[in-house]
């Protein structure tokens, strides 16, 4: 009996030791798997499958990003990622793995062809799979009056396409066919194509000459892009519809609503493309579709003709794109694209890009796509970079100025499992920027192609801010107002204080103008350089010169009249 108990104890000890060895071995293998995966990917932190399941179960949506409750900080390159810095998606596989498209808006500041030779390899290295080119009036149309006087030639377009092919980038041409046709409808020759005679935004869809024009433009663009698989026909922001005489007549005769008039136009053009170019898939912006009922969309047959591109450029998007909309789209469209923004969405006059704002937009899109991925087949993402808000607007941030934002967001959408420190490290090493790039700090010392323009824009923005601080100071508001200047009545010591930095501002702006001319000439033609200077530097210089003249006027005076200053009381003025 005693010997049996002893053998039982020995057996228990052996089993316990074996179990301990198994546990140590199990965790060491999992830890090794994790380290190997981390090392292999460079900046993506992976866990073993078992741990990943546990990890995913604790993920919550917060502030547009996926974060873990009570997450253990991750150390990478000497930096710690805590709860506030983690930007982690619940999906291990990167979203939009097939189509990560960068939008090039050529209705303002079209780059020289030589710039594409540098830009395309850069975005390919960052994870882009293609570009969507919105030519507007930079395309060499057969109706030559539609093209800008500095439009690309056919040889130029062929060169762009060849450079894209060499860098394994798909090219999707975009041509507006409903709204935003200002570049056509502004012309005297095409005034009678307008939906409303006063406004050159929207073409009348009920006139035969409008359809002939649009089909010719489509044929021109498609013929120059024989290898493209997609054609984007715009159709966003159709603000005026069913107002012209031709549309009213058609609506009465065919008993159409304005919604049906819109859908008839889009389906007509889409069928034309599908029948003549069956290898092409037609894309459209989706905003007008949001207004329609499920039945209206189904009855139109639009679902078999186009793939919508759902766009929203704000840090919060779910409140604007509700679940009902996605339910509707899921029942109509086989494939859906989404569109974010890496620049050109924070103001028509902006000269620098708010990277944080655009990263939040992309985080919001990643979260939303994860929510609806089992309901919607998301085909890809278009990362828009608007150059003008419309044909008549001034230039917003130039393309090189938006590259740090583009790099940040391309790497982010291409790598779901990534924390903020790793993301910034990757961006810094790829575009060769200092750590200040994320906050647009002067002295970031970037060296990507066109970085001289980026540096100049940051310096100009800083100078603008310095001048605004002076203009908002109490000494200016109290002693250097237009009233003080008009009456010649102010305290000289306060005038001197208010204008103390004026000389430095003028010199800084003169030097900056020379830097701008030099750096922009490498990327843009002289017309774009002049427009940017006339828009952003010349008005500021005029302000400084006016302030200088006002200062001189006020300081000339050494005696002052009694109040009041009206001529009926005082003839000293």
User: pLDDT by residue (tens digit) across 417-438?
Assistant: 678 888 888 888 888 887 777 7
> Where does the pLDDT of residue 568 fall: very low under 50, low under 70, confident under 90, or very high at 90 and above?
low
- Name the pairing type of β-strands 130-134 and 170-174: parallel
Q: How far apart are CA 473 and CA 479, in angstroms?
A: 10
Amino acid 22: pLDDT: 54
Percent of the chain with pLDDT over 90: 75
Q: How far apart are CA 520 and CA 529, in angstroms?
A: 6
Clarify whether residues 109 and 219 are in a common domain: yes
Q: Taking residues 516-524, report their average pLDDT.
A: 98
Clarify whether residues 500 and 410 are in a common domain: no
Q: Tell me whether residue 47 is in a domain.
A: no
Clarify whether residues 392 and 537 are in a common domain: no
Q: Tell me whether residue 357 is in a domain.
A: yes
Q: Tell me whether residue 60 is in a domain.
A: no
Rounded to 10 degrees, what is the CA torsion of 308, 312, 317, 323? -20
Q: How far apart are CA 484 and CA 499, in angstroms?
A: 14
Clarify whether residues 380 and 465 are in a common domain: no
Q: Say yes or no to pLDDT of 130 above 80.
A: yes
Q: Which domain holds residue 465?
A: 457-556
Q: Which of 24-28, 260-264, 316-320, 370-374 has the lowest mean pLDDT?
A: 24-28
Amino acid 502: pLDDT: 96
pLDDT tens digits for range 334-349: 999 999 999 999 999 9
pLDDT tens digits for range 155-205: 999 999 999 999 999 999 999 999 999 999 999 999 999 999 999 999 999
Q: Say yes or no to pLDDT of 25 above 80.
A: no
Q: Tell me whether residue 94 is in a domain.
A: no
Amino acid 572: pLDDT: 52
- Annotated catalytic, 296? no
Q: Looking at per-residue confidence, does 34 or 309 come out higher?
A: 309
Q: Tell me whether residue 59 is in a domain.
A: no
Clarify whether residues 385 and 474 are in a common domain: no
Amino acid 491: pLDDT: 98
Number of domains in the chain: 3
Q: Say yes or no to pLDDT of 571 above 60.
A: no
Amino acid 569: pLDDT: 57
Q: Tell me whether residue 75 is in a domain.
A: no
| Whole-number average pLDDT of the chain | 86
CA distances from 66 to 59, 368, 451 (A): 6, 11, 32
Q: Tell me whether residue 368 is in a domain.
A: yes
**CATH of residue 302:** 3.20.20.80
Clarify whether residues 387 and 498 are in a common domain: no
Clarify whether residues 221 and 370 are in a common domain: yes
Q: How far apart are CA 306 and CA 232, in angstroms?
A: 9
pLDDT tens digits for range 376-392: 999 999 999 999 999 99
Clarify whether residues 462 and 436 are in a common domain: no
Whether 222 and 280 have beta carbons less than 8 Å apart is answered as yes
Q: Inter-axis angle of helices 538-556 and 451-471, to 10 degrees?
A: 30
Count Cα neighbours of 328 within 13 Å in the Cβ-side half-sphere: 19
Q: Which of 8-22, 48-62, 106-120 has the lowest mean pLDDT?
A: 48-62
Active-site pick, 68, 118, 216, 237: 237
Clarify whether residues 201 and 124 are in a common domain: yes
Amino acid 438: pLDDT: 74
* Tokens of residue 265, six digits: 């136009």
Place of tokens 């603008």: 464
Q: Taking residues 475-484, report their average pLDDT.
A: 98
Amino acid 39: pLDDT: 35
Q: Say yes or no to pLDDT of 323 above 70.
A: yes
Q: Say yes or no to pLDDT of 355 above 70.
A: yes
Place of tokens 């060849």: 162
Clarify whether residues 419 and 474 are in a common domain: no
Whether 541 and 467 have beta carbons less than 8 Å apart is answered as no
Q: Say yes or no to pLDDT of 53 above 50.
A: no
pLDDT tens digits for range 497-506: 999 999 999 9
Clarify whether residues 368 and 287 are in a common domain: yes
Clarify whether residues 418 and 476 are in a common domain: no
Q: Tell me whether residue 423 is in a domain.
A: yes
Q: Taking residues 223-247, report their average pLDDT.
A: 97
CA neighbor of 231 nearest in space, from 244, 245, 217, 243: 217
> Where does the pLDDT of residue 228 fall: very low under 50, low under 70, confident under 90, or very high at 90 and above?
very high
Residue 193 has what DSSP assignment?
G
């Amino acid at each position: 009996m005693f010997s049996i108990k002893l053998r039982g104890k020995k057996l228990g000890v052996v089993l316990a030791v074996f179990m301990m060895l198994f546990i140590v071995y199990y965790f060491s293998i999992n830890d090794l798997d994790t380290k190997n995966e981390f090392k292999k990917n460079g900046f993506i932190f992976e866990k073993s499958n078992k741990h990943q399941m546990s990890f995913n179960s604790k993920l919550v949506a917060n502030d547009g990003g996926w974060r873990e409750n009570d997450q253990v900080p991750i150390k990478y390159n000497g930096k710690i990622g805590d709860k506030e810095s983690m930007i982690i998606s619940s999906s291990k596989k990167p979203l939009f793995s097939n189509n990560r498209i960068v939008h090039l808006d050529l209705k303002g500041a079209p780059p020289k062809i030589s710039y594409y030779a540098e830009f395309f390899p850069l975005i390919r290295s960052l994870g882009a799979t293609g570009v969507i080119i919105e030519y507007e009036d930079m395309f060499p149309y057969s109706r030559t009056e539609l093209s800008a006087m500095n439009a690309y030639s056919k040889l130029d377009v062929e060169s762009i396409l060849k450079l894209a092919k060499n860098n394994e980038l798909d090219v999707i041409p975009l041509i507006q066919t409903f709204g935003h046709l200002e570049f056509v409808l502004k012309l005297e020759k095409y005034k009678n194509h307008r939906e409303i005679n006063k406004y050159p935004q929207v073409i009348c869809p009920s006139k035969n000459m409008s359809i002939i024009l649009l089909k010719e433009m489509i044929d021109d663009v498609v013929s120059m892009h024989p290898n493209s698989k997609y054609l984007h026909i715009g159709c966003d922001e159709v603000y005026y519809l069913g107002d012209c005489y031709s549309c009213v007549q058609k609506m009465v005769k065919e008993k159409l609503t304005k919604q049906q008039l819109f859908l008839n136009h889009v389906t007509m053009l889409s069928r034309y493309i599908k029948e003549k170019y069956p290898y092409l898939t037609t894309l459209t912006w989706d905003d007008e579709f949001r207004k329609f009922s499920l039945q209206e969309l189904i009855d139109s047959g639009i679902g078999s003709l186009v793939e919508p591109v759902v766009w929203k450029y704000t840090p919060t998007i779910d409140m604007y794109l509700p679940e009902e909309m996605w339910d509707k789209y899921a029942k109509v469209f086989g494939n859906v694209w989404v569109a974010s923004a890496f620049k050109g969405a924070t103001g028509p006059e902006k000269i620098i890009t708010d990277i944080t704002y655009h990263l939040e937009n992309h985080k919001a899109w990643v979260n939303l796509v994860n929510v609806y991925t089992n309901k919607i087949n998301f085909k890809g993402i278009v990362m828009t970079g608007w150059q003008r808000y419309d044909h008549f607007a001034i230039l917003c941030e130039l393309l090189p100025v938006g590259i740090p934002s583009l790099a940040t967001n391309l790497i982010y959408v291409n790598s779901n499992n990534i924390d903020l420190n790793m993301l910034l490290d990757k961006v810094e090493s790829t575009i060769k920027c200092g750590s200040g790039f994320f906050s647009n700090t002067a002295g970031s010392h970037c060296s990507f192609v066109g970085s001289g323009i980026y540096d100049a824009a940051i310096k100009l923005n800083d100078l603008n801010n310095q001048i605004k601080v002076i203009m908002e100071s109490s000494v200016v508001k109290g002693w250097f107002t237009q009233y003080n200047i008009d009456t010649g009545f102010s305290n000289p010591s306060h005038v001197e204080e208010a204008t103390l930095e004026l000389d430095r501002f003028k010199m800084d702006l003169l030097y900056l103008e020379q830097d701008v001319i030099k750096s922009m000439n490498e990327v843009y033609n002289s017309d774009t350089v002049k427009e940017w200077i006339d828009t952003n530097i010349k008005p500021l210089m005029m302000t400084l010169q006016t302030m200088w003249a006002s200062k001189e006027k006020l300081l000339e005076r050494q005696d002052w009249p009694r109040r009041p200053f009206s001529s009926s009381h005082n003839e000293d003025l």
